[in-house]
Amino acid sequence: MQEEALPHAQTVAVQRVSEGPLRIALSARGQPPQPLASWPQGWLLAFAAVMFAGDLILFHLGVFWSTVANATMESNLAPIVITLAFWAMTRVAPRGVFLLGLAASLAGALLMIGPHFDHSRALLGDVCGIFSAVFYAGYQIGVQQARQNLDTLHLMAWVTAGATLALWPFALAEAHLWPTAPIGWVWLVLLALVVQIGGQVVIAYAVKHLSPALSSVGLLVQPATSAVYAWLLLGEGLEAWQLIGAGLLLTGIYLARRGL
């Protein structure tokens, strides 16, 4: 889901809502169900904020307990979750290519999770990664509904503020609210300026000049590069079957988006 420079969930979420799979699904298949259409604007913003906070919590638990590659690829299943939800509400089956992508994604996810079946903590991390996609999907739907009456900048300001309040108790429970060493502040500033603000500017520029289909495919670079970074920086290697699973999962997400 992006029109202005905005932030794992925010970086891609606004693009997906405004230019990505959800918008593609709407234009290709007519008006979607409006499950939250009767909600007041304040409730929509609160719902999106809570979903965003839940996504961030579960995604980072997945990264911490499992691996960066697994958690990132699992959270990218959100467009599939949205389409399955719309399928359940409308009883209109998606195209065959989506079902093929769904099957490939599930097979790839099982191959990636497979080595963790004997490690309860890693398996729990994978469960968190998968459920983060559910919260991510809820966040996208909430933002898409709220976006009908708000511009992107004001929408994301309210949602980010609400998510911050929702995350505050968890931050206090961690008892590590601020960096304790100078290098920690350096990384914090780099994350804010380069990863968040810089990433938003680049994405906002790209989606204005690229077609939605090409932008959607480009988003598949995110989980792939996450796996490479984790390998180079954190020493997180993937076994042979996990590499095959990663390829299947990325292929499945691509096919599913093409079939929306």
Task: Concatenate the DSSP letters of all residues of 62-89 into one string.
Answer: HHHHS-HHHHHHHHTTHHHHHHHHHHHH
So where are the chain's domains? 9-258
Q: How far apart are CA 226 and CA 70, in angstroms?
A: 9
Which pLDDT does position 65 carry in this prediction? Answer: 93
- Residue that wins the pLDDT comparison between 84 and 19: 84
Residue with tokens 């959270």, as numbered in its chain:
75
For residue 88, give the amino acid letter.
A
- Residue that wins the pLDDT comparison between 192 and 210: 192
Answer positive or negative: Cα dihedral of 3, 50, 77, 36.
Answer: negative
For residue 9, give the amino acid letter.
A
Q: How far apart are CA 251 and CA 102, in angstroms?
A: 10
pTM (two decimals): 0.73
Span 20-47, mean pLDDT?
A: 63
Weakest mean pLDDT among 28-37, 45-54, 105-114, 160-169: 28-37
Span 71-87, mean pLDDT?
A: 83
Q: What is the pLDDT of residues 127-180, one digit of tens each?
A: 999 999 999 888 888 887 887 777 777 887 888 889 889 999 888 887 777 888
Q: How far apart are CA 110 and CA 114, in angstroms?
A: 6
